Amino acid sequence: MDWLGKEFPFSTNSLKGKYAIVCGASKGIGAATAKMLAKAGANVTAVSRNPHELVSQLEGDGHRAVSLDLENQDDINKFISSVEFCHILINNAAGPPGGPLIENKIEDFEAPFRRHLFASHALVKALVPKMEEVGYGRIVNIISTSVREPIPNIGLSNTLRGAMASWAKSLSRELPTCVTINNVLPGFTDTDRLGSLAASINEKTGKSIEDIHAGWMSQVPIERLIDPLETGAAITYLCLPISGGIRGVSLAVDGGRMRSI
């Protein structure tokens, strides 16, 4: 892990001249991805409800911050109309609260699906023509390992992530040849989201935070949480020109936690 914050594994000019939109960029994996893309030379538009602080931390010039509510289609339409160039789109948003799926009401599905699937679809429909026009497009969706192995106590999230994965796979057969779409599946990652999930499980089950973390780590061969920058590096690779042959895959960055092939 010595390269984190020191030597970047890709050329700093790998994405020079490319314009990237990173959703959910204010913290966690979204912020780490924005930093990695900027370090690789991309001009980053950081999108979230509060992305402004992040932009000052990005390496290089030409970055901007856009405040956007991904649950609001009018906001999305206004943002789309302001986009002149786009080569890279990172679809990412906060996950829904934890808990057993059987306890969810129908209305519990509405906001998470608007924030994830509906927002991603609107952005892709609008931005793919711009990618095709310049002959280069990379779309990466940050979802979850639960698309392969559902995770206990986050039933609504499992359902949502599975829908995103199927949507992306379907699009991988339809998009122009110069545009790729792939998913990255984070495992247990050192983010605020993981802390919130632990707190939610604690509240619902009474299990201590320490026991929850110990249970998670017992499943991970590397015996530690993933650094968000590790996930951001994997996402950045999928955005490079050299990754054009990778299309419609779901790449796990989980420290080997999943048992499936």
Residue 217 pLDDT > 80: yes
For 121, half-sphere exposure in the C-beta direction (CA atoms, 13 angstrom radius) is 16
**Which residues, listed in sequence order, are joined to residue 141 by a DSSP beta bridge?**
91, 183
pLDDT the model gives residue 11: 65
Burial class for 173, CB neighbours closer than 10 Å (0-12, 13-18, 19+): exposed
Question: DSSP character for 206?
Answer: -
pLDDT the model gives residue 250: 97
Q: What tokens appear for 36 in the block? A: 């990695």
Weakest mean pLDDT among 63-72, 91-100, 187-196, 248-257 = 187-196
Q: How confident is the model at residue 212 (pLDDT cuts 50, 70, 90)?
A: confident
Superfamily of chain region 19-187+227-253: NAD(P)-binding Rossmann-like Domain (3.40.50.720)
The DSSP H or E segment spanning 247 is none
Helices and strands, number each (H, E), in the chain: 9, 7
Q: Using an 8 Å Cβ cutoff, are 228 and 31 in contact?
A: yes
pLDDT the model gives residue 207: 84
23-52 pLDDT tens trace: 999 999 999 999 999 999 999 999 998 888
Select the more confidently predicted residue: 193 or 144. Answer: 144
Q: pTM, whole model, 2 decimals?
A: 0.91
Q: How confident is the model at residue 2 (pLDDT cuts 50, 70, 90)?
A: very low
Residue 7 pLDDT > 70: no
pLDDT the model gives residue 206: 83
pLDDT the model gives residue 88: 98
Backbone angles phi, psi at 97, to 5 degrees: -60, 155
Rounded to 10 deg, the angle between the 119-134 and 73-82 helix axes is 10
pLDDT the model gives residue 8: 58
Residue 13 pLDDT > 80: no
Judged by DSSP in three states, 120 sits in helix
Dump the DSSP string for 148-196. Answer: TSPPTTBHHHHHHHHHHHHHHHHHHTTS-TTEEEEEEEE-SBSSHHHHH
